[in-house]
Structure 1
Amino acid sequence: MRILVCIDDTDNLDSLGTGELASILAQDIEEKGWGKSGAVTRHQLYVHPDIPYTSHNSSMCFATDLNDEYLNPFLQHAADFLTRKSAEGSDPGLCVLLPEQLKGKDKLIAFGLKAKKEIITKEEAYNLAQDLHIHLSEHGGTGQGVIGALAGIALRLYGNDGRFKGKFKIKSEKGIASVRDILAQSRIEIVKSIDGTVLAEDELVWLGDTVKAVLLEGRCVLLVTPIEVSQAEGIHWQTCSKQLLKNY
């Protein structure tokens, strides 16, 4: 079965970030032989003085193909993991979704989009999770992280929100690589401009300082912009700046 797993509010300023814990949890699944995990995505939620968060108020989500008999052992492992590994003062939440069994996808996605622009209560999160039969649980502190965990699941399911955790390392010639090489060396599935132009495999991209992908239409996408300063003839594209990527 394919499941989505999201955690939120597990860290403090001195601890491992929630993204790191999500990566460890994803790796645990593979090391235990329970299934195969995919990349972690970061989903930005509403930043407001009345919402407690460590630095950016974002949740972390990953997909995994899990052997059916290991669902309950995984749920127990994830709960124990968050209880043990979440930082002092954090309010960790866990959400696990089986997309194929979901009835009410639009309702769930609407919750995730709302969480990007409004304050949401724990009661709202639990009521929706119960209504849609989604696993949602808290594992310390106030448990406020259940809101972000459910929202992160919703946004991952939405498929048009979030940045993939980490930077891609692409072998290049003086910082320049073809789309073909970028696709061959990474999980990136498509390279396109921010206005939607899909680049051909023989087009060249100046990689710059950061090669980070975003989630668009359910795919791992490297976004590029027209090059500002040409590094060599025939190069018309460059990777997006960190500032531009904050929109995703």
Structure 2
Amino acid sequence: MKFYLCIDDTDSLDSIGTGTIAEQIQEKIIHQGYGPCSLVTRHQLFIHEDIPYTSHNSSMCFYGEVPDNDALTTIINLAAEHLDTVAAVGSDPGLCVLAYDESCHYDELMEFGIQAKQTVLTKADALTCAHNHQLHLSEHGGTGQGIIGALAGVGLRLFGCDGEIKGALKNAAINQTYLVAELKKLPEVEQVLDLTSKETLADTTLISLANRSKTVLYRNQYVLFVRKDDNNQYATLPKAEIRRLGEHFYV
């Protein structure tokens, strides 16, 4: 059984961060003998004065495998307990877990995620959508406002064209040149695409790793976007520019 798990609004400016908490939950799931789990994706949501957030208003999502509903219940309880334990004081944590059914249609859930990038949504909106899809959605402190982002993160991960892979390319050196084939051996890279044309680059194409770049979720794959530099050589994009793509590029 495939499941999606997302958390939101768990941190403060000096806490360990929502992404780290998501990875800690993954570690506990694997310690229980379940998994494997995917990499964590960061989903940027709407920035507005009516939406409380720490610094960027983003949620963190991943998916994994469990054998049955009993195991999924164990994972939900595990994640909830971990949030209750480590979420920062003053935060408004939310947890969303979806038992994925390939025979179901998740258009409403994906649309909720897309709307959460563009407008102010309410807890009532989130609870209605969650009820329609019979998924787990729970508050874990404060106002519980984080359920909105947690639900949105699951919808955006299902959408498959939104989100940064947490962390930079950990096993590649800056200011080095790599073949596409070499980059695709990294767990964070499944495809390397030309930013302008969206074309897949051949395995023999050389890429200059000019900065601590990141991959993004695009068409349900971990994609490294590159473009030609002043020397007509493909080079990676800086993280700040990749983050700006999420404001208009994916959706």
Q: Give the TM-score taking structure 1 as reference length.
A: 0.94
Deviation at 1:241, TM superposition (A): 2.1
Task: State the AA in 1 paired with 2:201.
Answer: L
Deviation at 1:101, TM superposition (A): 6.0
Which position in structure 2 is the counterpart of 1:82? 83
Which position in structure 2 is the counterpart of 1:194? 195
Which position in structure 1 is the counterpart of 2:242? 245
CA contact (8 A) 2:113 2:155 kept: yes
Structure 2 distance, partners of 1:82, 1:185, is: 30
Task: State the AA in 2 paired with 1:238.
Answer: A
Superposition map of 1:116-195 within 5 A: 116-171=117-172, 175-195=176-196
Deviation at 1:169, TM superposition (A): 2.9
Structure 1 distance, partners of 2:112, 2:173, is: 41
CA contact (8 A) 2:213 2:239 kept: no
Structure 2 distance, partners of 1:172, 1:79, is: 37
Superposition map of 1:200-211 within 5 A: 200-211=202-213
| Percent of aligned positions that are identical | 42
Which position in structure 2 is the counterpart of 1:113? 114
Please say if 1:38 is aligned against 2:38: yes
**Alignment counterpart, residue 223 of structure 2, candidates 211, 221, 224:** 221
CA contact (8 A) 1:179 1:201 kept: yes
Q: Secondary structure at the match of 1:100?
A: coil
Q: Give the TM-score taking structure 2 as reference length.
A: 0.93
Structure 1 distance, partners of 2:79, 2:115, is: 26
Number of residue pairs aligned between Structure 1 and Structure 2: 243
Structure 1 distance, partners of 2:151, 2:174, is: 42
Structure 2 distance, partners of 1:205, 1:92, is: 40
Which position in structure 2 is the counterpart of 1:12? 12
Q: Kindly tell me: are residues 77 and 208 of structure 1, through their superposed partners in 2, closer, same or farther at Cα, counting changes over 3 Å?
A: same
CA contact (8 A) 1:190 1:221 kept: yes
Deviation at 1:27, TM superposition (A): 1.4
Q: Kindly tell me: are residues 174 and 242 of structure 1, through their superposed partners in 2, closer, same or farther at Cα, counting changes over 3 Å?
A: closer
Structure 1 distance, partners of 2:128, 2:239, is: 36
Deviation at 1:16, TM superposition (A): 0.8
Task: State the AA in 1 paired with 2:210.
Answer: G
Structure 1, unaligned stretches of length 5 or more?
none
